[in-house]
Amino acid sequence: MSRRYVIHLPVVANDLPAAQRLARVVGRWMTVLPMMDPGGTTVSTEDDQNVRHWVFCDAPMPGGRRCLLRPDHDGECSRRLRH
């Protein structure tokens, strides 16, 4: 059995893109905390929480970190936003 615990923090948005955008902002902001793992962030509809949509690419990168771009991003993975 794992010794890690996951905190489920419900936050409400009006549609899937808005939920994913908010989750990305919160996930990136929370990286100031060493225990935060934003790569596993997903969103779902309130009525069907078993169907989850990824918020980050989450591909492994050198140094044990994960990609923080959108799941469908173009180009190489990164820990920083591309403008």
pTM > 0.85:
no
- What is the Cα–Cα distance from 56 to 76, expressed in whole angstroms? 14
In the prediction, which pLDDT does 81 show? 67
Length of the chain: 83
Give Cα separations from 43 to 1, 3, 46 (angstroms). 25, 24, 9
Give Cα separations from 62 to 9, 23, 74, 77, 79 (angstroms). 29, 24, 19, 11, 11
> Tens digit of pLDDT per residue, the chain (83 long)?
667 777 777 788 999 999 999 988 888 888 788 777 777 888 888 888 888 888 888 888 888 778 889 999 999 998 776 65
